[in-house]
């Protein structure tokens, strides 16, 4: 059994805390050779370090002992992951009926679930109410009356209202959700947020528990969160002045960044927690407002560095200006480079290289010019077909965003824990794809 790493170790880079690389090409995760995992489960394969996931959960709970930590399930969710979150005392943030169904099927307590979404269907809302979901996040005005009509007589459904703090943060324009003029949340500037508060308070079937905001993704500094905290506390004070209601909860969302390359820095959790709580305490004191209970929603920061992906090299092709290393996966199992230009670190594993290093472009096997996994990646000059490559920090937004493009089945997820490797999501085979095809 491997020992639990210290909290200080979790920020050391894009690989999980229990990943080790040796001088002869050896590579292990929690003592298990990655070559053995590839032989047993095939490639491509996602590999997830259970101990690392649990440590990151505990890091958040230690840094924010009075707060509610809700894992953002959209980063990566399966039944095993939901069970780990339950055991570690976290809540769960879901944003679809499918994510809710997986969580409930794993026995996750419904009262510890927060249901997000800017366009939740009536069926999703009905399921959330019926199952007793703890809080539903109101994201548009029409949702208020639709939700209230679904709540049984004599019950009250707790809700949060998602507010736009008009703060720009995030690594890419496509993932900046805290600014005006995007599809998430209700605007303070237009009066929609204030209108939503009044409408919820007028509904006997709804109980306004607090406010919510989310700034974006892959944020690596605490500054935007401090600014958002001040804006949100001011809104809570305005609600008290207008309606005489003191809201008990303040959800400041997630989007906490991680390193994808050596030398990069993710959001340092302890420092973030200290600065966030100080910002809330100071603004509440200045406005004479009781301290709300904080909620934060890390997703990528918990599962991202805990994961890696194993690929088999299929071909090496030298072009005029680049060398292409083609592998047996691609944009169907990792669309992030195609979507955001995201960088990745890759390593040759399983043998010692006899040559120097050179920069290559790692591409997939799909019929798509944009099927690139990483550009300018240093790999040994003698990389050849049959070699194994490990790509770091793929535990978030890889399996969850995977597709069956070119009718390629999605890879399995292998968890490595104290008892060794085990399959937690099986590989999608052609037979699985055929089951959906009803025929001529």
The pLDDT tens digits for 175-200 are 445 455 666 789 998 999 999 999 99
Q: Any idea which residues carry the catalytic annotation?
A: 367
Averaged pLDDT for residues 378-394 = 97
Averaged pLDDT for residues 94-110 = 98
Tokens of 91: 């809540």
Domains observed in the chain: 7-48+304-436 (2.40.37.10), 50-300 (3.20.20.10)
Neighbours of 83 (CB within 10 A): 15
Find how far residue 43's CA is from the centre of its chain.
23
Q: Are strands 307-318 and 45-49 parallel, antiparallel or unpaired?
A: antiparallel
Nearest-5° Cα angle at 393, 423 to 86: 55
Averaged pLDDT for residues 218-236 = 94
H or E segment at 378?
strand 372-380
User: Running DSSP on this structure, what letter comes out for residue 1?
Assistant: -
H or E segment at 35?
helix 34-41
Q: Are strands 206-212 and 249-251 parallel, antiparallel or unpaired?
A: parallel
Model pLDDT, residue 257: 94
Helices (H), 136-268: 141-150, 192-201, 223-243
95-414-412-300 Cα dihedral, nearest 10 degrees:
30
H or E segment at 217?
none
Alpha-carbon gap, residue 54 to 85, rounded angstroms: 8
Q: Are strands 135-138 and 388-392 parallel, antiparallel or unpaired?
A: unpaired
pLDDT value at 103 more than 80: yes
Contact partners, residue 27, CB within 8 Å, separation at least 6: 19, 20, 21, 33, 34, 35, 347, 349, 350, 390
Provide, rounded to the nearest whole percent, the portion of the chain with pLDDT above 90: 89
Tokens 């085990």, residue located: 422
Rg, C-alpha atoms of the chain: 23
Neighbours of 153 (CB within 10 A): 6
pLDDT value at 262 more than 60: yes
Q: Which of 415, 339, 414 is nearest to 373 (CA)?
A: 339
Tokens 């996040």, residue located: 137
| Band of pLDDT at residue 13, cut at 50, 70 and 90 | confident
Model pLDDT, residue 15: 95
Start-to-end CA distance of the chain, whole Å, equals 53
Alpha-carbon gap, residue 138 to 200, rounded angstroms: 9
Cis omega (within 30 of 0) for bond into 44:
yes
pLDDT value at 151 more than 80: yes
Alpha-carbon gap, residue 163 to 178, rounded angstroms: 9
User: Running DSSP on this structure, what letter comes out for residue 219?
Assistant: B
Find how far residue 290's CA is from the centre of its chain.
31
The pLDDT tens digits for 196-220 are 999 999 999 999 999 999 998 899 9
Alpha-carbon gap, residue 341 to 322, rounded angstroms: 18
| Band of pLDDT at residue 173, cut at 50, 70 and 90 | low
Alpha-carbon gap, residue 165 to 142, rounded angstroms: 21
Averaged pLDDT for residues 337-342 = 91
The pLDDT tens digits for 34-81 are 999 999 999 999 999 999 999 999 999 999 999 999 999 999 999 999
Helices (H), 48-91: 50-63, 79-87
Model pLDDT, residue 5: 45
């Amino acid at each position: 059994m491997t020992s639990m790493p210290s909290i200080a170790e979790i920020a050391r880079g894009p690989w999980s805390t229990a990943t080790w690389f040796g001088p002869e090409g050896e590579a292990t995760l929690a003592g298990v050779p990655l070559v053995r995992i590839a032989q047993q489960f095939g490639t491509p394969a996602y590999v997830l370090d259970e101990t690392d996931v649990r440590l990151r959960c505990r890091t958040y709970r230690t840094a924010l002992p009075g707060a509610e930590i809700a894992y953002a399930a959209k980063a990566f969710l399966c039944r095993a992951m939901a069970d780990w979150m339950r055991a570690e005392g976290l809540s769960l943030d879901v944003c679809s009926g499918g994510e809710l169904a997986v969580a409930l099927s794993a026995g996750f307590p419904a009262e510890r679930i927060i249901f997000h979404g800017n366009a939740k269907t009536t069926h999703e809302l009905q399921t959330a109410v019926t199952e007793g979901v703890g809080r539903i996040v109101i994201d548009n005005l029409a949702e208020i009356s639709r939700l209230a009509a679904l709540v049984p007589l004599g019950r009250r459904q707790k809700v949060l209202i998602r507010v736009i703090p008009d703060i720009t943060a995030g690594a890419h324009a496509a993932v900046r959700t805290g600014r005006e003029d995007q599809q998430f949340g209700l605007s303070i500037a237009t009066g929609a947020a204030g209108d939503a508060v009044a409408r919820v308070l007028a509904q006997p079937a709804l109980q306004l528990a607090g406010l919510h905001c989310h700034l974006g993704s892959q944020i690596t500094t605490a500054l935007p969160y401090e600014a958002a905290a001040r804006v949100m506390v001011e809104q809570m004070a305005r609600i008290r002045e207008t309606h005489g209601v003191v809201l008990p909860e303040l959800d400041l969302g997630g989007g906490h960044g991680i390193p994808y390359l050596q030398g990069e820095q993710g959001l340092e959790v302890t420092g973030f927690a200290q600065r966030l709580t100080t910002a809330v305490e100071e603004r509440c004191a200045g406005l004479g407002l009781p301290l709300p209970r904080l909620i934060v929603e890390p997703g990528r920061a918990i599962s991202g560095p805990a994961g890696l992906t194993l690929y088999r090299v299929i071909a090496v092709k030298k072009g005029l200006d680049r060398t292409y290393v083609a592998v047996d996966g691609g944009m169907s199992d990792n669309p992030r480079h195609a979507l955001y230009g995201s960088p990745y670190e890759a390593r040759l594993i399983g043998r010692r290289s006899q040559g120097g290093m050179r920069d290559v472009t790692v591409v997939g096997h799909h019929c798509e010019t944009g099927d690139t996994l990483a550009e300018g990646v240093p790999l040994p000059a003698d990389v050849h077909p049959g070699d194994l490559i490990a790509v770091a920090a793929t535990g978030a937004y890889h399996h969850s965003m995977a597709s069956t493009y070119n009718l390629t089945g999605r890879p399995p997820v292998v968890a490595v824990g104290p008892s060794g490797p085990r399959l937690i999501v099986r590989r999608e085979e052609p037979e699985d794809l055929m089951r959906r095809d009803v025929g001529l």
